[in-house]
């Protein structure tokens, strides 16, 4: 090897031009799950506007499944409606140059809950506070209005690494 890191297909897709302009530049990979990879990226917009964002891009094998793509798109539409301090904001949803779906979310600097919980013992008061804040966010999502009813969104994978 010549010292160059070979980008993954997801990284190559994000480096492509979107709408005639460079929109996202990969900084580093944050993680991956069974269906997607998540990258820390720089979002470019307007005259020298830059912002760090987290970009979740669907893996190639799932991007070819229409039923999965529809579920991912539905997840993105619901997530974009959620505006709560305990829920990460969705900023963009589109397809890259290869046609793979991606979701752009605000990037929040810090240690994730999994690292925090496994690195040291949490005092009970801190653990209770964290659990209460998670529940506030889940309650808000569950009660999201839909006409005169509530939408009843239920998140079925609430675990520290579930953001992937």
Our answer to whether residue 157 is catalytic in this structure is: yes
Active site residue: 92, 96, 139, 157, which one?
157
3-state secondary structure the chain: CCCCCCCCHHHHHHHCCECCECCEEEEEEEEECCCEEEEEEEEEECCCEEEEEEEEEECHHHHCCHHHHHHHHHHHHHHHHCCCCCCCCEEEEEECCCCCEEEEEECCCCCCHHHHHHHCCCCHHHHHHHHHHHHHHHHHHHCCEECCEECCCCCCCCCHHHHC
Kindly list the catalytic residues: 157
């Amino acid at each position: 090897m010549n010292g160059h890191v070979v980008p993954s297909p997801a990284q190559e897709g994000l480096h492509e031009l979107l709408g005639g302009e460079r929109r996202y530049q990969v900084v580093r990979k944050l993680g991956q799950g069974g269906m997607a990879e998540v990258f820390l990226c720089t979002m470019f917009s307007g005259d020298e506007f830059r912002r760090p964002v987290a970009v979740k891009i669907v893996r190639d094998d799932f991007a070819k499944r229409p039923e999965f793509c529809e579920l991912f798109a539905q997840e993105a539409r619901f997530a974009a409606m959620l505006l709560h301090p305990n829920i990460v904001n969705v900023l963009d949803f589109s397809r890259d140059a290869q046609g793979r779906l991606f979701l752009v979310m605000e990037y929040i600097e810090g240690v994730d809950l999994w690292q925090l919980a496994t690195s040291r013992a949490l005092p009970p008061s801190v653990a209770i506070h964290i659990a209460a804040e998670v529940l506030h966010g889940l309650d808000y999502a569950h009660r999201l209005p839909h006409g005169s009813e509530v939408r009843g969104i239920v998140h079925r994978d609430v675990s520290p690494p579930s953001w992937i």
